Amino acid sequence: MSESVLKRAEYLLDQAKITKDGLSKRYVILARKLAMRTRTRLPPELNRRFCGKCSAYLKPGENLSVRLHGGKLVYYCKECGSHRRMPLHNKSH
């Protein structure tokens, strides 16, 4: 896997973050397609920025709610209603 693919995926997700609602999904989809095409596994810090189901860029307080449940973080996408459990990340390296 290549460093530049990750850079490009991150760039696309950054665009998704700053762009207006209608377009942000497109950037997320582009980033996911890029990862798929290049068989790159997106690292969790990128992966958890969007909904794996509907590709919405997730913004806490807007279309994302995060809850702690059973020692795990539950990400709830308000756009499609899907849940995703994440381990609590305590890694700093």
Binding positions for Zn ion, rule: CB under 5 A:
51, 53-54, 56, 77, 79-80, 82
What does residue 66 show for φ and ψ, rounded to 5 degrees?
-115, 125
Please, what is the minimum distance in Å from the beta carbon of residue 54 to Zn ion? Answer: 3
* Residue pair 16/28 in contact by the 8 Å Cβ criterion: yes
Please, what is the minimum distance in Å from the beta carbon of residue 55 to Zn ion? Answer: 7
* Structure tokens given for 82: 């899907």
User: Considering beta carbons, is residue 5 or 52 the nearer one to Zn ion?
Assistant: 52
* Cα of 28 vs its chain's centroid, Å: 8
User: Considering beta carbons, is residue 23 or 80 the nearer one to Zn ion?
Assistant: 80
